[in-house]
Amino acid sequence: VLLEHRTIDVNLEGENGNTAVIIACTTNNSEALQILLNKGAKPCKSNKWGCFPIHQAAFSGSKECMEIILRFGEEHGYSRQLHINFMNNGKATPLHLAVQNGDLEMIKMCLDNGAQIDPVEKGRCTAIHFAATQGATEIVKLMISSYSGSMDIVNTTDGCHETMLHRASLFDHHELADYLISAGADINKTDSEGRSPLILATASASWNIVNLLLSKGAQVDIKDNFGRNFLHLTVQQPYGLKNLRPEFMQMQQIKELVMDEDNDGCTPLHYACRQGGPGSVNNLLGFNVSIHSKSKDKKSPLHFAASYGRINTCQRLLQDISDTRLLNEGDLHGMTPLHLAAKNGHDKVVQLLLKKGALFLSDHNGWTALHHASMGGYTQTMKVILDTNLKCTDRLDEDGNTALHFAAREGHAKAVALLLSHNADIVLNKQQASFLHLALHNKRKEVVLTIIRSKRWDECLKVFSHNSPGNKCPITEMIEYLPECMKVLLDFCMLHSTEDKSCRDYYIEYNFKYLQCPLEFTKKTPTQDVIYEPLTALNAMVQNNRIELLNHPVCKEYLLMKWLAYGFRAHMMNLGSYCLGLIPMTILVVNIKPGMAFNSTGIINETSDHSEILDTTNSYLIKTCMILVFLSSIFGYCKEAGQIFQQKRNYFMDMSNVFEWIIYTTGIIFVLPLFVEIPAHLQWQCGAIAVYFYWMNFLLYLQRFENCGIFIVMLEVILKTLLRSTVVFVFLLLAFGLSFYILLNLQDPFSSPLLSIIQTFSMMLGDINYRESFLEPYLRNELAHPVLSFAQLVSFTIFVPIVLMNLLIGLAVGDIAEVQKHASLKRIAMQVELHTSLEKKLPLWFLRKVDQKSTIVYPNKPRSGGMLFHVFCFLFCTGEIRQEIPNADKSLEMEILKQKYRKTTCAFVLTLIPVG
Express each pLDDT in 503-534 by its tens digit: 888 899 999 988 887 655 555 555 556 677 88
Is the full-model pTM beyond 0.95? no
147, pLDDT greater than 50:
yes
Look at 120-124, 586-590, 604-608 and tell me which has the smallest mean pLDDT: 604-608
The pLDDT confidence band at residue 611, using thresholds 50, 70 and 90, is: very low
pLDDT at residue 88 greater than cutoff 90: no
Q: How confident is residue 11, by pLDDT bands cut at 50, 70 and 90?
A: low
pLDDT at 317 over 80: yes
Of the listed ranges 22-31, 168-177, 471-480, 885-894, the one predicted with least confidence: 885-894
Residues whose CB is less than 8 angstroms from the CB of residue 205 and which lie 6 or more positions away in sequence, other chains included = 172, 237, 238, 243
Cα–Cα distance, 303 to 122 (Å, whole number): 45
pLDDT at 300: 93
Closest CA to 139 of 168, 187, 105: 105
Question: How many residues belong to the chain?
Answer: 916
Residue 614 banded pLDDT, cuts 50, 70, 90: very low
For residue 772, the 8-state DSSP code is: I
Mean pLDDT over 224-252 rounds to 87
Q: Is 91 exposed, middle or buried (0-12, 13-18, 19+ CB in 10 A)?
A: middle
With contact defined as beta carbons under 8 Å apart, do 451 and 439 qualify?
Answer: yes
Look at residues 551, 491, 479 and name the one whose alpha carbon lies nearest to residue 831.
551
CB distance 159 to 124 below 8 Å = yes
At 9, is the pLDDT very low, low, confident or very high (cuts 50, 70, 90)?
A: low
Higher pLDDT, 215 or 1: 215
Backbone torsions φ then ψ of 615, nearest 5 degrees = -100, 110
Q: Which residues of 299-321 are buried (b: 16+ CB within 10 A; e: fewer)?
A: bbbbbbbbbbbbbebbebbbeee
Contact assessment for residue 83 and residue 99, using Cβ atoms and an 8 Å cutoff: no
- State the pLDDT at residue 445: 94
Percent of the chain at pLDDT > 70 equals 87
Pick the closest to residue 209 from 180, 162, 168, 253 (CA basis). Answer: 168
CA distance 709 to 712: 5
Residue 528 has what pLDDT?
54
Determine the average pLDDT of the residues in 284-312: 90
Average pLDDT rounded to a whole number, residues 405-433:
94
Q: What is the pLDDT of residue 885?
A: 40
Tell me what the mean pLDDT of segment 776-800 comes to. 85
Mean pLDDT is highest, among 420-429, 708-717, 898-907, for 420-429
Mean pLDDT of the chain: 83
Give dist(CA 905, CA 914) in Å, integer.
Answer: 17
- Rounded to an integer, the average pLDDT of 90-106 is 86
Task: Give the per-residue pLDDT at 6.
Answer: 57
**Residue 41 confidence (pLDDT) above 70:** yes
pLDDT at 296: 92
pLDDT at residue 244 tops 70: yes
Give the pLDDT band (50/70/90) at residue 420.
very high
Which amino acid, one-letter code, is at 896? I
Measuring CA to CA, which residue among 754, 747, 719, 738 is closest to residue 796? Answer: 738
Lowest mean pLDDT among 257-266, 472-481, 749-758, 855-864: 855-864
Rounded to whole angstroms, how far apart are CA atoms 282 and 279?
5
pLDDT in tens, 421-469: 999 999 999 999 999 999 999 999 999 999 999 999 999 998 998 888 8
Model confidence at 608: pLDDT above 50: no
Q: Is the pLDDT of residue 822 over 80?
A: no
Higher pLDDT, 159 or 486: 486
The per-residue pLDDT for 382 is 94
- Long-range contact pairs involving 614-621 (C-beta distance under 8 Å, separation at least 24): 618/591, 621/587, 621/591
